């Protein structure tokens, strides 16, 4: 790991926030995908009747 000196807190917090944002985005996308998939399944099931 490079020596960051007095900027270590700033740089590491920026990396941490970016990682947190990306994890949140992936989680939100996955949950949205599950919801849309369930809604499509309900619509398909109601058309079969």
pLDDT tens track for 5-40:
999 999 999 999 999 999 999 999 999 999 999 999
2 pLDDT band, cuts 50/70/90, is confident
- For the record, the structure tokens of 2 come out as 């490079």
Asked whether residue 38 is domain-assigned, the answer is yes
Asked whether residue 12 is domain-assigned, the answer is no
Q: Is the pTM of this model over 0.75?
A: no
For residue 49, the SS3 value is: coil
Domain total of the chain: 1
Other residues' Cβ atoms within 10 Å of the Cβ of residue 28 = 10
Q: Write out the H or E segment, with its range, that includes residue 14.
A: helix 8-48
Q: What does the alpha-carbon distance between residue 10 and residue 47 come to, in Å, rounded to a whole number? A: 55
Asked whether residue 48 is domain-assigned, the answer is yes
Contact predicate 11/4, CB 8 Å: yes
Q: What does the alpha-carbon distance between residue 25 and residue 31 come to, in Å, rounded to a whole number? A: 10
Asked whether residue 29 is domain-assigned, the answer is yes
43 has a pLDDT exceeding 80: yes
How do residues 16-25 score in pLDDT, each as one tens digit? Answer: 999 999 999 9
Domain that includes residue 37, residue range: 21-49
């Amino acid at each position: 790991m490079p020596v960051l000196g007095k900027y270590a807190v700033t740089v590491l917090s920026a990396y941490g926030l970016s990682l947190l944002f990306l994890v949140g985005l992936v989680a939100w996308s996955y949950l949205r995908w599950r919801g849309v998939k369930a809604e499509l399944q309900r619509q398909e099931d109601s058309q079969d009747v």
